[in-house]
Amino acid sequence: MSVTAKVKVYKSPGWAGSDDVRMDFSADYGEGKNKEWASATPVINITMYVKPEVAEKFESGASYTLTFEPEQ
């Protein structure tokens, strides 16, 4: 069983003095996304600090599908 969440990502500079990039993921409210699991306005907030080469794989302001799967 898995659950998916539609999220948007926004990038900003990471910790002072590091090359890290802060990536903030929040619910994507457009076009009824997340309706299958949200009984009201969906809320999700995830923050990651990643290396620049990881951040390059994401476009700031773009939508992504986040999948939650049980660990086997």
pLDDT in tens, 39-64: 776 788 999 999 999 999 999 999 99
* Mean of pLDDT over the chain: 90
| Number of residues that this document lists for the chain | 72
The pLDDT of residue 47: 97
User: For residue 57, what are its two tokens?
Assistant: 């794989």
- Read off the amino acid at residue 62: A
| Domain layout of the chain by residue ranges | 3-67
The pLDDT of residue 60: 97
**Closest among 49, 46, 28 to 37, alpha carbons compared:** 28
C-alpha distances out from residue 37 to 4, 9, 50, Å: 8, 20, 28
